[in-house]
Amino acid sequence: MIKHLIILETNGYLHYRNGMVVFSKNKEILMEVPLRKLKTIQILSNRISISSYLIYECSKRSIDLFFMSYYNPYIIMISNLNHHATVRLRKKQLEFIEKPECFLVVKEILIGKIKNQRSLLLYFGKSSKNEQLKIVEKELSKIIQQIQNKRYFRNWQQELLGLEGKAAKIYWQYLKNIYFRDFQFPGRIPRISSDIINSCLNLGYTILLNMIWRAVSIAGLEPYAGFFHSERSGKPSLVLDLMEEYRAWVVDRNVIKLRNELKNLDTLKESTRKKYIAYILNTFSTEFSYNKKRYKLETIIQKQIYRLCGTIVDNKPYKNYIFRW
């Protein structure tokens, strides 16, 4: 069952008819999906027309609309005004950013990110006797310990992000040497990039960003007031902060799974792109263990963001989410 409709085509038309979202091109209907089953419509093309009536019907059903591109993933989000936003929560969020407790949340997020990067490497290397993997695991574990040992101090952001950047360099160098060695992969390049691996990563991160943004909006948090990503007009810093724990497992893992199909491709062909997106959406609908129960990842993400709300309002401890390999 489709819950997240992603439009990649160009020069098409999206409209509403008899409870269905209809996508047509040159007056030929290419797709019809029941609107009641959808949670988001994500449009990755700047050459799509959309009817105002469809926007209205989506709003009535709390279906979020995202318009983005590969080069700038956060352009437009259209959502229902009745998302659970409260002025009190957003005030608390802005106050929380200036408190020492914010430091503890950032530590948890960054530790979660690095642990999930380590889990990914161990997941793919579990049957390998690669000595380099042992070295990388040890280096990442050392950085995790360094972050855990940090105590609150003024201007802590730069030091924590320095450690996170050190871990990222180790992680991406290992992926480049082991899994992407047959590609012209220069290393991780956000946004504008010409190589096939970075193009896949950027597409995947765009979809992940939309999922996190929706969960943040439902919870009532301010998406532009983040904890450690820099503040800039139009930049959803909190969404980017909360993405970090999920990048490796939701996106990087699926690019590695698809690497054999990506060989000898200069650009993503339509069939490969659809398969890759299906992998990512399947990850969101896969059940994982959470508090001794099993939930779909999409539900876990929402629960994690509600947990953050509890931290902001009631000083309840925030705990990161670690994928078990």
Compute the average pLDDT of residues 25-35.
Answer: 91
Distance, CA of 109 to CA of 147 (rounded, Å): 11
Q: Which CATH number is 4-67 given?
A: 3.100.10.20
Compute the average pLDDT of residues 161-167.
Answer: 95
Compute the average pLDDT of residues 214-225.
Answer: 93
* pLDDT score, position 96: 96
Distance, CA of 184 to CA of 266 (rounded, Å): 10
Compute the average pLDDT of residues 72-98.
Answer: 80
Q: Is 70 exposed, middle or buried (0-12, 13-18, 19+ CB in 10 A)?
A: middle
- For residues 194 and 229, the model is more confident at 229
pLDDT above 70: residue 74: no
CB-CB contact of 159 with 146 (8 Å): no
Q: Fold for 87-314, please state it.
A: Four Helix Bundle (Hemerythrin (Met), subunit A) (1.20.120)
Percent residues over pLDDT 70 in the chain: 95
* pLDDT score, position 242: 97
Distance, CA of 284 to CA of 210 (rounded, Å): 12
User: pLDDT-derived band of residue 82, with 50, 70 and 90 as boundaries?
Assistant: low
User: pLDDT-derived band of residue 70, with 50, 70 and 90 as boundaries?
Assistant: low
pLDDT above 80: residue 193: no
pLDDT above 80: residue 231: no
Domain with CATH 1.20.120.920 in the chain: 87-314
Compute the average pLDDT of residues 270-285.
Answer: 93
Reading the block at residue 247, the tokens are 């990048």
Tell the residue number behind the tokens 């591109």, with chain if given. 69
- Model confidence, pTM: 0.90
pLDDT above 60: residue 84: no
* pLDDT score, position 235: 85
Distance, CA of 207 to CA of 247 (rounded, Å): 11
CB-CB contact of 296 with 250 (8 Å): no
Mean pLDDT of the chain: 90
Of 262, 264, 249, which Cα lies nearest the Cα of 300?
249
* pLDDT score, position 101: 93
Q: Which long-range contacts (CB under 8 A, 24 or more apart) does 28-36 make?
A: 33/2, 33/5, 35/61, 35/63, 36/61
